[in-house]
C-alpha cells in the first residue's frame, strides 16, 4: 500500500494529544493570557500586518549582504533550479522569508526536523498564493554556533542509538567531521543492502565523509532532501552578517538591554506559565577557534568565562569592530540576530521554542526590530496500515491513541467489562445527597456542615478506592486485551512519547522511499494549527 492510498489520515486538535503545553494550547486558542507575548497571529490577516511592519525596517544594505553571503555559501554544493530561483527572488525588495531553525543533529536527528522544514516550505507557497504581489521563500537556519554537542551527536534507528564520539569544543558548525567513518560503518551495518538503504548510506557518506566540517555536511544533507522545493539554508556564523548585528551587540555589552527587557517579561509570564530560559546580564558568548564561552562583566572588566581572556570597555568595543564574528548570541539574542539579518515574517518552531520566543517580545520592542509571527510547526504521527487495523479491532480511535496509557487501559477495560457499574453517576448521586445534607444542616445547626463535608470526602474516597480495585480486577480478567493495547501503543508511541521526538527519518524512508517527503508536503497545512495523523 502506498502512502497516498489510505483516506483514514486526519487532523486532530493539538490540545487533544496531551503532548502540548498549556501555553501553546492557550496561544492556539488566542487566550488573553498569551496576548501580551506575541505580535501578529499566524493567519492571513496577521501576515498582511507583518509584511507592512517588516517592509519599513529591512534595508537594501541588509538584503544585499544576506544575498552575497548565501551565494558564497552555496558555492560549496550543487544548486537546483528551485534554489537558484529563490536566491534570485531574495534580491528583490518585495521578497520575504519564513524561517525555521534546528541544531546540527547527526543525520538530521529526530523526525520533526523534516516537519519543521516542510512547514516552512508549505507556508511560503501558501503566502505566495495569498499575496501574489510579494515573494516568499523558506529558510532553514542552521544552529552552527551552538556548543551543546551531547544534544546533537546521535540519532535513533529502530531503537538503537547511533552516536558520534568526539572531544572537540566550540561552535559545533566548525567541528571537523573526522572520525565519522566509524559511525558510517555502524549505520551501514544496521540498514542493510536494499536500494533504499544504499541511498541512505550514500547520503550519509556524501554528507559527512566528503565535507570537512559539520556545517557544510549538514547543509549538503538538508539540500539533498529539500532542494526540489527551493529551501534556502543559512549559516549565520559569518563575519559580514555579524557586522550587520554589531550595533546591537555593542549595546548589549554596554547596557545589558536583553537582561532588563526579558526579566521584565518573565515576571509577568511566570504568573501563568513556566519560564523556559532565564537571561544572563550579558547574553553573548566569545567564539574563537575551539572556544565558545560566556562573556561576563566582573571587576570592571569583560571576562571570557573559563579562560584568561579579558577586555576593558575600550578594548572589547575595538574587538567587536575588528572581529564581529567572535561575538556569538546565546538563546536570548539568537532570535533577534535572525530577525536583523533576514527579511523574515514568521518563525516556525516547536512548543518549547515558541515558549522562549514569547519571552522576547519586549526585548524586540526596546531595540526597535519587528517581532515575527510565531507558528507552531506541523506535528505528525505516522500510523502504519497494520497498526491502524489493530486499533480498529481494539475500538481505539486515533484521538484515543494519545491518551495516557493508564487512562486508555481504564477506558477500554471498562468498555469491555461484563460487570458494569457507573461510578461517575454514583459519584454525582453522592454529591447531590451531601448537597441536600448541607442545606439541612444550615437550617438546623450550621456547626454540622463541617461534619457533613468530612463525611462526603470519606465517602467519595471510598468510592474511588472501590473503582480502582474493580479496575485492577478487570485488568487481570482481561490480561490479553491489556497486553495488546500496551504493545500497540508502545509500538506507535515509543517511550510513551511522540515518535517525531524519538525516531529518525531513515526508518520511514527504508519502508516508503522517495514517497515519504512528497506525501508529507502534500498533506501538511501549516496554518491548520492541528496535529496530523498519517495512516499509511
3-state secondary structure 316-350: HHHHHHHCHHHEEECCCCHHHHHHHHCCEEEEEEC
First to last CA, the chain: 7
Q: Does the predicted model carry a pTM greater than 0.85? A: yes
Cβ-contact 133, 95 below 8 angstroms: no
Cell matching residue 464: 474511588
Q: Are residues 105 and 224 in the same domain?
A: yes
Domain contains 478: yes
Same domain, 391 and 529: no
Residue of 402, 498, 527, 347 lying closest to 15 (CA atoms): 402
Where do the H-state alpha helices sit in 402-515? 405-415, 423-444, 448-477, 479-492, 505-512
Asked whether 314 and 219 are in contact (CB, 8 A), the reply is: no
Count H helices and E strands in the chain, helices first: 22, 15
Residue 284 lies in a domain: no
Q: Is residue 210 part of a domain?
A: no
What pLDDT sits at residue 423?
Answer: 64
Cβ atoms 203, 506 nearer than 8 A: no
Q: How many CB atoms lie within 10 A of CB 513?
A: 15
The verdict on residue 195 lying in a domain is no
Reading the block at residue 353, the C-alpha cell is 521554542
Helix, coil or strand: residue 6: coil
Are 474 and 414 in contact by the 8 Å Cβ rule? The answer is yes
- The verdict on residue 321 lying in a domain is no
In the sheet that holds 284-288, the strands lie side by side as 310-311, 301-304, 291-298, 284-288, 327-329
Task: Show the beta-strand stretches assigned E in 87-188.
Answer: 95-102, 135-142, 154-157, 160-163
> 65 with 240: CB under 8 angstroms?
yes
CB 180 within 8 A of CB 164: yes
Domain contains 67: yes
Residues 54 and 152 in one domain: yes
| Side-chain half-sphere CA neighbours of 225 within 13 A | 28
Query: Same structural domain for residues 461 and 527?
Result: no
Range of the structural domain that residue 399 is part of = 386-497
Question: Do 83 and 104 fall into the same domain?
Answer: yes
Q: Are 32 and 60 within one domain? A: yes
Give Cα separations from 94 to 110, 153, 260 (angstroms): 34, 39, 35
User: Is the domain of 151 the same as that of 23?
Assistant: yes
Is 228 part of any domain? Answer: yes
Cell numbers linked to 446:
450550621
How far is 367 from 343, CA to CA, in rounded Å? 16
425 and 353 belong to one structural domain: no
Q: What residue ranges of the chain have pLDDT lower than 50?
A: 1-5
How far apart CA 291 and CA 288 sit, in angstroms, is 5
Phi-psi region of 384 (alpha: psi -120 to 50; beta: other; left: phi over 0): beta
- In whole angstroms, how large is the CA radius of gyration of the chain? 27
Angle, in degrees to the nearest 10, between helices 505-512 and 516-523: 110
Helix (H) or strand (E) run with residue 386 in it: helix 385-393
Q: How far is it, in rounded angstroms, from Cα 467 to Cα 89?
A: 64
Q: How many domains does the chain fold into? A: 2
Same domain, 165 and 87: yes
Residues 109, 132 within the same domain: yes
In a domain, 176, yes or no: no
The Cα diameter of the chain in Å comes to 89
- Alpha-carbon distance 525 to 121, whole Å? 10
Residues 220 and 349 in one domain: yes
Partnered with residue 12 across adjacent β-strands are 531
Residues 63 and 18 in one domain: yes
Amino acid at each position: 500500500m502506498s502512502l497516498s492510498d489510505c483516506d483514514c489520515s486526519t487532523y486532530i486538535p493539538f490540545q487533544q494529544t496531551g503532548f502540548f503545553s498549556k501555553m501553546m494550547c492557550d496561544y492556539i486558542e488566542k487566550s488573553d493570557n498569551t496576548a501580551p507575548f506575541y505580535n501578529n497571529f499566524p493567519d492571513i490577516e496577521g501576515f498582511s500586518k507583518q509584511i507592512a511592519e517588516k517592509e519599513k525596517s529591512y534595508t537594501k544594505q541588509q538584503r544585499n549582504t544576506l544575498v552575497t553571503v548565501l551565494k558564497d555559501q552555496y558555492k560549496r554544493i550543487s544548486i537546483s533550479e528551485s534554489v537558484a530561483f529563490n536566491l534570485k527572488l531574495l534580491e528583490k525588495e518585495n521578497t520575504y522569508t519564513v524561517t525555521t531553525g534546528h541544531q546540527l543533529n547527526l543525520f538530521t536527528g529526530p523526525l520533526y526536523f523534516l516537519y519543521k522544514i516542510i512547514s516552512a516550505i508549505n507556508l511560503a507557497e501558501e503566502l505566495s498564493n495569498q499575496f501574489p504581489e510579494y515573494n516568499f521563500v523558506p529558510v532553514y537556519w542552521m544552529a552552527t554556533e551552538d556548543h551543546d554537542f551531547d544534544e546533537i551527536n546521535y540519532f535513533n534507528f529502530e531503537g538503537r542509538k547511533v552516536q558520534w564520539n568526539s572531544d572537540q569544543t566550540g561552535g559545533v558548525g566548525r567541528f571537523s567531521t573526522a572520525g565519522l567513518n566509524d559511525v558510517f560503518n555502524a549505520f551501514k551495518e544496521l540498514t542493510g543492502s536494499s536500494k533504499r538503504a544504499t541511498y541512505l548510506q550514500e547520503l550519509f557518506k556524501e554528507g559527512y565523509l566528503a565535507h570537512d566540517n559539520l556545517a557544510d555536511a549538514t547543509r549538503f544533507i538538508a539540500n539533498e532532501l529539500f532542494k526540489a522545493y527551493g529551501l534556502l539554508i543559512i549559516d549565520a556564523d559569518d563575519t559580514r552578517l555579524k557586522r550587520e548585528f554589531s550595533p546591537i551587540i555593542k549595546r548589549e555589552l554596554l547596557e545589558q538591554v536583553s537582561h532588563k527587557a526579558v526579566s521584565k517579561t518573565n515576571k509577568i509570564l511566570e504568573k501563568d506559565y513556566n519560564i523556559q530560559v532565564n537571561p544572563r546580564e550579558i547574553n553573548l558568548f566569545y567564539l574563537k577557534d575551539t572556544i565558545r564561552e560566556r562573556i561576563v562583566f566582573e571587576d570592571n572588566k569583560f571576562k571570557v568565562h573559563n579562560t584568561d581572556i579579558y577586555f576593558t570597555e575600550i578594548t572589547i568595543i575595538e574587538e567587536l569592530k575588528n572581529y564581529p564574528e567572535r561575538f556569538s548570541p546565546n538563546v536570548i539574542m539568537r532570535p533577534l540576530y535572525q530577525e536583523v539579518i533576514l527579511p523574515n515574517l514568521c518563525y516556525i518552531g516547536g512548543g518549547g521554542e515558541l515558549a522562549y520566543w514569547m519571552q522576547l517580545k519586549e526585548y524586540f520592542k526596546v531595540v526597535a526590530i519587528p517581532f515575527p509571527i510565531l507558528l507552531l510547526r506541523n506535528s505528525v504521527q505516522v500510523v502504519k496500515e497494520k497498526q491502524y487495523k489493530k486499533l480498529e479491532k481494539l475500538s481505539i480511535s486515533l484521538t484515543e491513541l494519545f491518551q495516557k496509557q493508564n487512562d486508555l487501559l481504564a477506558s477500554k477495560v471498562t468498555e469491555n467489562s461484563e460487570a458494569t457499574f457507573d461510578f461517575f453517576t454514583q459519584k454525582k448521586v453522592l454529591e447531590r445527597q451531601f448537597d441536600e445534607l448541607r442545606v439541612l444542616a444550615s437550617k438546623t445547626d450550621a456547626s454540622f456542615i463541617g461534619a457533613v463535608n468530612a463525611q462526603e470526602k470519606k465517602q467519595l474516597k471510598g468510592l474511588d478506592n472501590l473503582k480502582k480495585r474493580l479496575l485492577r480486577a478487570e485488568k487481570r480478567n482481561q490480561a490479553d486485551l491489556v497486553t495488546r493495547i500496551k504493545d500497540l501503543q508502545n509500538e506507535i508511541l515509543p517511550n510513551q512519547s511522540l515518535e517525531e521526538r524519538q525516531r529518525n527519518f531513515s526508518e520511514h524512508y527504508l519502508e516508503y522511499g522517495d514517497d515519504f517527503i512528497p506525501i508529507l508536503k502534500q498533506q501538511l497545512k501549516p496554518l491548520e494549527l492541528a496535529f496530523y495523523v498519517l495512516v499509511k
